[in-house]
Structure 1
Amino acid sequence: MTPKQLSATLDILNSALGFTAPADAVVSRHFRENKDLGHKDRAIIAETVFGMLRHLPQLEWLAGGEAGKLPSTRELLLAYFTRIKHLNVRELPPVFTDEDKTRAGQMKGMALRDAPLNVRAAIPQWLVDTLVAEGQDEAAILALGQAMLQAAPLDIRVNSIKAKRDAVAAELKAAGDINTAPTPYSPWGLRVEGKPAINKYKCFIEGRVEVQDEGSQLLGLLCGAKRGQMVADFCAGAGGKTLLLGAMMQNTGRLYAFDVSEKRLANLKPRLARSGLSNVNPQLIASENDQKIKRLAGKMDVVLVDSPCSGMGTLRRNPDLKMRQNATSVQELNAKQRSILQSAARLVKHGGRLVYATCSFLQSENQAIVEAFLAQNPDFELLDAREVLSKERVTIELPDQYLQLMPHLHNTDAFFAAVLQRISAERAAAKEAGAMLSAEDEVADEADEA
């Protein structure tokens, strides 16, 4: 690492460790403001910053910071070079003094196996406490935490209305000697070797591929969107899943992309133009209770709710999230998640499908939200995600009827999804009649007892 790269790394860390903004935004802003940093400089700096954020609880412990107080960025960087990058004293950048090198030698002698669980798993204590409360044991927490220390692979989704997967793989190989392999679960996915700038290649520019984690692609399969249907992506964001649903519908029917953020919907526009889809109808809404939602009540064949969440499932990509979230912020999200799911359910017609999803592994954002919803909405029932995927010719090991993808088990982000179906009008009427008869019987029994 050159002095220029080292200086830039420390500057970025001094800003990023305040956790007042996403780390990727801090890095991007620094690069925009420092045009003299070349491509190689930026790659080394970004790799170092995100590597340190992934390992931050370990680095704090190694650097001997006081409880609640971060060591200096210089000390954290020394710990990172010494224990994570495994540099010996002679390989350390010349900016480090003899005193620093002595300290590095001491760090090499520290045994991480003696550290607290949150340090060994490289996650904050609040997250360990949450996982323990949800029934996770030490081995499971360590496996998850250590998996999150690895950089995520680069997955792309082939746009099925424009290209075939094999053709795109051959095109990337010919255009830039880029090696890819079919993703193990998604029928549209390619896993790219290394981290090439896919957005510079013709297949991306012309809309034949989109960057999308394989786990996110599987959410589309759970939706089961088909030709001619009415479908809603309730929290569309920048539209990655919207574009997938539109392709599954083969550019027919009507697909609504709802979001409360005008900026996110604006980011969908260029992606939509590349995709070749004409069945997408972006809709800015004020909240989940917007009048636009009410007008479409009971009309949708499929509604996808990719709910706002903590993002804990994306820590391989956004390692600073584990420091920017806390138990209180997750509880606040839980209230929002319940409200959004309840509102989205109104759109689903009898016999239609409602898919609730998050990029989180926390049960409070996942199973707990779904179970509470089902208790309050007897006209919905839970489908087995394994059976739904099996009908799409996807076999995947899951512990129960929910989809819960994990990086150390599936090499995807930690996505969760529940597939819900609104029962038919006939079944709903019969169920209601049965409930009324049961209530009448109870009244009669009470009268007899009296």
Structure 2
Amino acid sequence: MRLHPAVATHLEEVLREVLRFTGPADVVVSRYFREHPKLGPRERGAVAEGAFAVLRNKLSYASFAESGTGSLMRRLALLGLADVAGIDALAGLTTEENDWLQRIARIDRSSLPLAMRANLPPWLLEKLVQQDGEEATLALSDALNRPAPLDLRVNALKAKREDALAGLAEAGITAEPTPFAPLGIRVPKKPALQNIPMFREGLIEVQDEGSQLLAQIVAARRGEMVVDFCAGAGGKTLALGAAMRNTGRLYAFDVSEKRLAKLKPRLARSGLSNVHPGVIAHENDTKVKRLAGKVDRVLVDAPCSGLGTLRRNPDMKWRQTMDSVAELNAKQAAILDSAARLLKAGGRLVYATCSLLPEENEAIASAFLAKHADFMLVPMREVLAEQKIPLEMQDYLKLQPHVHQTDGFFAAVFERRK
């Protein structure tokens, strides 16, 4: 079934806004769909995926689009749609446009310059090549420039993984267990989850396998007092609450009321009653100070560049800069310092990011240890063995899309000395 010619026009309009990089691409796309309610599900899918394909391949597509006729935005839209649906699915092409797309399809991508093959901004490409070498950087960028599968977490309070897999199979959805997270399920395609009773009843929740592992290494136990310091929309909060078997007290703090509001419907589905969401003004809010020295475990999923999530958020690589990363570093250190005050003796502190950059990861962890003699690093290999997670790591958790098929994550585990 071919796409209606109007889809390319809609994608042109979306790209005009998205490529300004004034805000997150998914927000821009969602707003466009609200303004155009008559667009059907298939057309919406093509427009959204087409926009993300252009963002993933911006450097090479911009170069390809310099040839051909018509407007630049039209050519970019056609490249995006050809990427996600195939040239044969595009209706309304002129002979010239069809010939041009066929010529582009025959280009040997391996012959392109490094920057165009990686489709990364120069500052980031240079950093990654210095860090890991050209070959590893190309392998990483290739993984980052592919759409991510859909990962689900089974709510252990309501179901077992094998039962959830059987339920998905009954619904005609292909799925498999994730290799590392014990409650994870990977779905290659993206079904409409809201139509599946298991999702509506809170038996499954959307969460990347890497994110599930971050929650697991916190090792939250029954009856403990636990804080998710930068809870956001609460994916890790829900995983922590289930690990605590709905006992103890779990505080979900965030500076964004809008982000925390997204936790409410998820919390209602989950069946958890031990979660206490709270909006805080900053990391030294009185709500935080009241808990000083009382908490068993704290997870700091720090605000970061998000460069490990480019499979899902390809616009992040074009929106971040070296300066914006430097600003985040100061914020990350301040949040970690503040969160550390909450821990009682023997308590566990997990610092995590979805970044690939050492200055947001190892550098922050090292600086924290240098400043806090009352904390020690717990080597990640010990934490993973304790949690029976079959991953080989040294001091830190470093998940990479091309190696582990997860988003890019970093984590360090600290313990307050007794």
Q: After TM superposition, is the score higher than 0.5?
A: yes
Once structures 1 and 2 are overlaid, which stretch shifts more, 105-114 or 121-130?
A: 105-114
Query: Could you tell me how far 1:45 is from its partner in structure 2?
Result: 1.8
* Matched letter for residue 395 of structure 2: Q
TM-score by length of 2: 0.93
Q: Tell me: CA distance 1:22–1:97, structure 2 relative to 1, closer, same or farther (3 Å).
A: farther
Q: How does 1:232-243 map to 2 (within 5 A)?
A: 232-243=227-238
Q: Tell me: CA distance 1:386–1:81, structure 2 relative to 1, closer, same or farther (3 Å).
A: same
Query: Could you tell me how far 1:110 is from its partner in structure 2?
Result: 5.0
Deviations 1:217-256 (A, max 9, x none): 0011110000111100000111111111111111111111
Tell me the SS of whatever aligns to 1:12: helix
Instruction: Decide which of 240, 243, 246 is 1:248's aligned counterpart.
Output: 243
Instruction: Decide which of 142, 146, 149 is 1:146's aligned counterpart.
Output: 142
Deviations 1:353-373 (A, max 9, x none): 000001111111111111111
Q: Is contact 2:380–2:412 with CA below 8 Å preserved after alignment?
A: yes
Q: Is contact 1:232–1:258 with CA below 8 Å preserved after alignment?
A: yes
Corresponding residue for 2:370? Answer: 375
Query: Could you tell me how far 1:179 is from its partner in structure 2?
Result: 2.3
TM-score by length of 1: 0.87
Q: Does 1:59 align with 2:61?
A: yes
* Matched letter for residue 46 of structure 1: A
Tell me the SS of whatever aligns to 2:332: helix
Q: Percent identity over the alignment?
A: 53
Corresponding residue for 2:358? Answer: 363
Q: Which of 1 and 2 has greater Rg?
A: 1
Q: Tell me: CA distance 1:126–1:194, structure 2 relative to 1, closer, same or farther (3 Å).
A: same
Corresponding residue for 1:261? Answer: 256
Q: Is contact 2:305–2:325 with CA below 8 Å preserved after alignment?
A: yes
For structure 2, list consecutive stretches of 5 or more residues without a partner in the other structure.
none
Q: How many residue pairs end up in the alignment? A: 413
Query: Could you tell me how far 1:29 is from its partner in structure 2?
Result: 1.2
Q: Is contact 1:63–1:107 with CA below 8 Å preserved after alignment?
A: no
Rounded to whole Å, the distance in 2 between the matches of 1:305 and 1:91 is: 45
Tell me the SS of whatever aligns to 1:242: helix
Tell me the SS of whatever aligns to 1:355: strand
Tell me the SS of whatever aligns to 2:132: coil
Q: Tell me: CA distance 1:296–1:408, structure 2 relative to 1, closer, same or farther (3 Å).
A: same
Rounded to whole Å, the distance in 2 between the matches of 1:228 and 1:366 is: 31
Corresponding residue for 2:395? Answer: 401
Rounded to whole Å, the distance in 2 between the matches of 1:167 and 1:28 is: 33
Instruction: Decide which of 312, 319, 326 is 1:317's aligned counterpart.
Output: 312
Corresponding residue for 1:421? Answer: 415
Corresponding residue for 1:124? Answer: 121
Instruction: Decide which of 292, 297, 300 is 2:295's aligned counterpart.
Output: 300
Rounded to whole Å, the distance in 1 between the matches of 2:188 and 2:221 is: 32
Tell me the SS of whatever aligns to 2:403: helix
Rounded to whole Å, the distance in 1 between the matches of 2:215 and 2:104 is: 47
Q: Tell me: CA distance 1:47–1:388, structure 2 relative to 1, closer, same or farther (3 Å).
A: same
Corresponding residue for 1:430? Answer: none
Tell me the SS of whatever aligns to 2:185: strand
Q: Tell me: CA distance 1:324–1:108, structure 2 relative to 1, closer, same or farther (3 Å).
A: same
* Matched letter for residue 77 of structure 2: L
Rounded to whole Å, the distance in 2 between the matches of 1:104 and 1:216 is: 38
For structure 1, list consecutive stretches of 5 or more residues without a partner in the other structure.
66-70, 425-450
Q: Does 1:196 align with 2:191?
A: yes
Corresponding residue for 1:445? Answer: none
Q: Is contact 1:130–1:327 with CA below 8 Å preserved after alignment?
A: no
* Matched letter for residue 352 of structure 1: G
Corresponding residue for 1:432? Answer: none
C-alpha RMSD of the superposition: 2.0
Q: How does 1:26-105 map to 2 (within 5 A)?
A: 26-64=28-66, 72-80=72-80, 84=83, 93-96=91-94, 98=96, 100=97, 103-104=100-101
Corresponding residue for 2:281? Answer: 286
Corresponding residue for 1:443? Answer: none
* Matched letter for residue 297 of structure 1: A
Q: Tell me: CA distance 1:294–1:139, structure 2 relative to 1, closer, same or farther (3 Å).
A: same
Once structures 1 and 2 are overlaid, which stretch shifts more, 263-272 or 360-369?
A: 263-272
Q: Is contact 2:214–2:411 with CA below 8 Å preserved after alignment?
A: yes
